[in-house]
Structures are given as structure tokens and as C-alpha cells.
Amino acid sequence: MKNVLSIFINDLFSIAKHFFALVIALAICVIPALYAWFNIYSNWDPYGGTGNIAIALVTRDIGYTLDSGEFINEGNDIVAEMAKSTSIRWVVTNYSEAMDGVHSGKYYGALVLGENLSRNMHNMTEALYDKEPAITFYQNAKTNAVANKITETAASTAEHNIQLRYLSILIEKVFAKINEVLDELDTESSIQKLIGVMNRLETALDDYCEVIEKLQAKNIDLGGRLHNAGDNISNVSLAGSVGNIQAAKESIEYTKTQALESVWNLQLRLAQMQESLVSSDLSEGSINELIRQNNEMIADLELMKASLPQESVAPTTGSLRSSIERLITQLNKINSYYEELKQSGLPAEDREILRNALLNAIGAARDFVHNNLEKSVERLFDNLTEDLVLLQNVLISLDQTISGIPPVMYAADGTLYSLNGTLKEVGKLLKNLKETVTELNERLHDVQNNDTLDSLIEMLHGDPEEFAAFLSSPVEVETETIYPVNSYGAAMTPFYSTLAIWVGCVVLCAVIKVEADGRRLRRPTEGQLYWGRFMTYAFFSQIQAFVIVWGDLHILGVECLHPLLFYFSGAVTSFTFVCLIYSLVLTIGDIGKAIVVVIMIVQIAGSSGSYPIEILPEIFSRLYLFFPYPYAINAMREAICGLYAFDYWLYLGELLVFAGIGLFVGLVLRRPLHGINEFIEEEMHESGVL
């Protein structure tokens, strides 16, 4: 121990008594901190100056005259609103100047509103057949990669806001039409009129019953005629028609099962596509496969749509056709997202955004299949079945009635008494019909007195502008940040501080000799020489770490929840890096220095300090756990942003494993590798260059 302390104290005295050595020693204590501070400060608010990025804004909208005679120009209103933005510098200009500016690099991009923008917003029929784009975005891709992403984001935001405006106008017009219909519709009067008709029918049936009773008293000469009629009616049978209807019901039920299986298969394929999006690496091949599957679903839906009758008075047929067309539109939109993903050079963050957009779009398609398409199919076939059942019951009842008439007529042959019995049966039938009408009349009274219909009408009869404002953006998202960081620069502090500590240790090895001079010591061992010079390295490295952390907190003003833990993580990081770097350089010389530089290069790119490790190439996700940077960075993040359980101490413990590796290399492997190291250094010296 005495020899170790002697080496350390002699090192400090030797530096202190030589002016230039002292100046260099003080410089190497501060220079790594400058590296960290400049990088952190330059990243403090990288997107705060996006208001200086110029994008041309052009409207070619010719306007539109509403049915009321009012002339509007939505393009001018949109341009005036966007020009007020401070996040991007929208430069309002004409088309030719905008195109020239994009090509020359004066503008990073140009957003052009189409000629028919106003017309398409207020006339949905025209919009459906308009092939011209409502918005066109031109971008100069060679200017700057980050600027391109900013301009793309700005254009996407503008497109989203215009779509919301379009949707708001559409919903407002729909509810305005609903209000017009509801204003013209007197629901109470309509139900009252229907009740009046049913009352008159009920009265008429009473009169018919009275007539039948009178016929029973007067018509004694009808026997022969009734006998002939009975012969004719006995030849009539509806059993074949009833059988055909039963077969039709079975065919419809089978067709319904097949159709629902197709819908369920569609749901399964959408779910599989969603699962593939989550688990796939989104290579071009996998995207092409997803597009193929999507096109198959579109083709199946086109076949289903083509199988529907072109003209049908049944509302359920039109509803199913509309559901199929809307789903085809959604699947085509999903294909457009896939095509965007296939673009070469698309950044990982944009691919992730597109992946999320695809997941949302497929999720919406699945919901639409379940909530709309499946129900439309069921409703169509159920209505068909109900109609057939109703027709079958009518035919069965009529067949029974027809089969029951001849015996009555035959029995009436020859006697007025038998005829009177038949008339009584007819009277009973009329009374049964009267009871049915009476029951229906009572149900109409219930509907008239029910508040549900009035509530529905009252809900739809609202302010169109309020409905448009709500339905165009029905969901409000509130974001709550866990472990908030005050700036992007503060978030990058752990990475650049860790990197600066490593650079500081590398500088120490370049300035301070790794071999300790043991000539003045009494029989020093290799271990004593190692620890003596190690203490010198550790001393200056701890100063470097302290200066770096102190400057982060007090010069840059990085907000830190646990400053003492931040200092402590810097000290542990410094100790670990010194153990590793000093041991490698001492043990294998210049090769060790090269290894230290390689480790630094690899960790700058693949330590997850700036980009998530999940979006980096796979090689980094496999290697980064075997390097010390991630554990040092994570420990500093815990100290700055907030602690979770025992993660801070676990990260430091994992970091110290690399200190153990460094000590093993310097104390154990040094002797076996000593001869190899000397040979390599001698060869390099003889080269006269290295």
C-alpha cells in the first residue's frame, strides 16, 4: 500500500511543480465537459426555430356559389388562417413563383389548393366524381433531410385540418337537411291520421258482420249455387306454393350462412393482417404480401357487391351495398398506406407513424365489418326470411280456409239451415279480422303515447353547427407525461455526459503515461505499479466527471430530480470507464487504444442514447447490452427524470460488472499478454512510422 500511495503522490507533485504539465492537467479536466455542454446546448430546442422554414402556400380555388346564392371561397379562408401560423413560415404566393422557389431551394416545399376545393366541400356529388386532387404538396427532397421531415409534418397537419373543415361542412349540411325534413314532418299528425284509418276499418268490419247476420235470415235460395262453388273450390290447393316457399326459406338460410362465413373470414383476414403489422419487420416482401391479401379482400367484396340486384326497392339491399362500398374505400386507403411504406429511404419514425396509422385503419375496418357489414348481411337475409314466413303463413291460412269452404257449401246444399251455419263461420272470420285490427289500433296508440320517438326527433333536431363541431372531432385526447423532461437537450444530457466521461478517459491515456516508474520504490510488484498509476487516472477522471455533471446542472440548467444521485452515477461511470480503458491500454498498448476507440464509435451509434434501440439495425440490438454505455445512460436518466423501484441501483450494479472486467484484464491478463504486447510495440517501432 505504501508503494501505491507513493506513486500517486509523486504523480501529483510532478504535475504540480511543472507549469505546462499543470496547465495541461487542468485542461484535460475541463475539455471533456466542453464537449458535453456544447452538444447538449445545441440540442436544447432543435425544433424551436421551425418558424423560419419557408413553405410556399398557393390557392387556385375558383370558389363556389351555394344554392342560396351566396358565393364562398374556402381556399382564401384556409390560406388566411394558415398564414397566421408561427410554427412554419407559410409564404402566400402564386403558383409559378411557388414552383420556381421549390426548384431553386428558396422554399422547402409548396402546398397548392386545387381549383375545385370549395365546390367539393359543399357539393358531395361533384366531389365523388372529381379526379383532380384537392391538395397537392411539392417538396424539394435534396435540401435537408430533417427539413424534409418538418415540411412533411407541416403538410400533413394542414391536410388534416382541411379534412376536418371538409367533414365539418359535410356534417353541418346533413343535419341541416335533417332539420328541414323534421320541420316538414308532423309525426303526431301522421300517426293520428293512421289511427283514424284503422278506426274506420274497424267500424266497416262491424258493418260487415251485421250484413252477414242479415244474410243468414234471407238467403235460402243459395244452396245450389254454393254446391257448384264448392266443387270448383275443392280443386284449388296451395300446398305446392307452400312447399316452394319452404324450399326458398332453406335456400336463403344456406345463402345467409355462406355470406356470414365470408364476412367472418374477412374479419379473420383483417385480424391476421393487423397481427402481421405488429410482428413483421415491414420489409418490401412482407408489405407486398399484405397488399396482395388486401386486394383479395377487395376482390371478394366486389364479387359480393356484384351479386346484389342492381335495382331493388328493399332498403336492406341498398344498405348492404353502401356498407360494401364503404369497406372497399377503407381497404383502398389501407393500400395507399402500404404503398407509402414501400418508399425507399423512409425514416424509421415515419414508418412507425405509418404502421400506427395502418393499425388504426385496419382496426376501424374490423369494427366496420363487425358493426355494419355483418349486421347488414344479417338484416338483409332476416328480412327476406321474415317476408317468406309471412307469405307462407298467409298461404297456409288461405289454403286451410279454401279447403274448409267446400264441406260447408256441400252441407248447405238443400237446406237453409246449413247455409246459415256457413254464414256464421264467415261472420266468425270477420270478427277475428276485426280483433286483429283492434289490436293493431291499440299498438298505434302506444306508439303515439311513447316518448322514445319524440326523444329521437328532438335529438336530431339540433343545431347543425354544433353537430358538425362535435362529430368532426368527437374524441379529445389528453396527454399526461410520465417522468417529464423540460427540454430535448435535457433528455440528451445522459448520453452526451456519458460520452464526455469516456472521451475524458481516452484523453487521459493519451496524455498521462500508463506505465508507472518504480525505480525509486523498494521492490514494487506489478500490482502496486498498476494501482499506483490507476489512482492518478481515477483522480483526474473523477474531477472530469464532477465538472461535467456540475456544468450540466448549474451552467446549462438541466432540471434534475435527484442531483446527488446524478453526481454519484457520474462518479461510478468515471470509475468504470477508467478501469476498462486504463487496463486495455496498459495491457495491450496501441491495440488497446484502438479497441477503446472502436468501443466508443459503436456505442455512439448503438447505445440507444438518442434513438430507441428498437428502431436501430438488428446488430446493435444484439450487441449494445455487452457495452457499458446503456447502463450509465439509464442510471443518469433515473436520476434526472425520476426513480422507478430499484432500477437506478440495478443499472449501476450492471455498470460495475465492466469495471470488474477491466480489473481482470489489467491484473490477471497483463502477465500472459506481456510478451505479445512487447513484440507488437517493437514491430511498430521498427516500422519508423507508427
CB 381 within 8 A of CB 255: yes
CB 267 within 8 A of CB 287: no
What is the DSSP code string of 270-310?
HHHHHHHHHH----HHHHHHHHHHHHHHHHHHHHHHHHS-S
Cα 369 from Cα 373, distance rounded (Å): 5
Cα 398 from Cα 395, distance rounded (Å): 5
Band (425; pLDDT cuts 50, 70, 90): low
CB 109 within 8 A of CB 72: no
71-72 and 64-65 as β-strands: parallel, antiparallel, unpaired?
antiparallel
415 three-class SS: coil
CATH 1.20.120.230 positions along the chain are 226-414
Tell me: the pLDDT tens digits for 109-123?
A: 999 998 988 888 877
39 or 440, greater pLDDT: 39
Lowest mean pLDDT among 207-221, 272-286, 574-588: 207-221
DSSP 8-state symbol, 373: I
Tell me: the pLDDT tens digits for 380-411?
A: 767 767 766 666 665 566 555 556 556 655 55
Cα 588 from Cα 594, distance rounded (Å): 10
Tell me: the pLDDT tens digits for 296-354?
A: 888 877 877 777 766 554 566 777 778 788 888 888 888 787 777 777 667 777 777 77
For residue 549, what pLDDT is reported? 95
For residue 475, what pLDDT is reported? 47
The CATH number of the domain covering residues in 226-414: 1.20.120.230
Q: Locate 288 and state its grid cell.
A: 407486398
Q: What is the dihedral of CA 314, 316, 317, 323, to 10 degrees?
A: 150
Q: What is the mean pLDDT of residues 483-512?
A: 88
DSSP 8-state symbol, 90: E
Element (H or E) spanning 136, and its range? strand 135-139
Tell me: the pLDDT tens digits for 19-68?
A: 888 899 899 999 999 989 998 888 887 766 677 888 999 999 998 988 87
Q: What are phi and psi of 49, to 5 degrees?
A: -105, 20
Cα 102 from Cα 128, distance rounded (Å): 31
CB 10 within 8 A of CB 525: no
Class level of CATH domain 50-184: alpha beta
Three-class secondary structure assignment of 574-643 = HHHHHHHHHHHHHHHHHHHHHHHHHHHHHHHHHCCCCCCHHHCCHHHHHHHHHCCHHHHHHHHHHHHHCC
Please state, rounded to an integer, the average pLDDT across all residues of the chain: 77
219 or 562, greater pLDDT: 562
CB atoms within 10 A of CB 469: 15
CB 584 within 8 A of CB 533: no
For residue 616, what pLDDT is reported? 72
What is the residue type of 533?
R
Band (541; pLDDT cuts 50, 70, 90): very high
Cα 28 from Cα 448, distance rounded (Å): 92
For residue 313, what pLDDT is reported? 46
Q: What percent of the chain has pLDDT over 70?
A: 68
Q: Could you tell me which residues are beta bridge partners of residue 65?
A: 71
Tell me: the pLDDT tens digits for 56-108?
A: 999 999 989 888 788 989 889 889 988 888 888 899 999 999 999 999 888 98
Q: Give Cβ neighbours of residue 109 (< 8 Å, ≥ 6 apart).
A: 55, 56, 102, 137, 138, 139, 140, 151, 154, 155
Cα 571 from Cα 198, distance rounded (Å): 94
Q: Widest CA span of the chain, in angstroms?
A: 154
% helix, strand, coil for the chain, step of 5: 75, 5, 20
Q: What is the mean pLDDT of residues 437-459?
A: 59
CATH 3.40.190 positions along the chain are 50-184
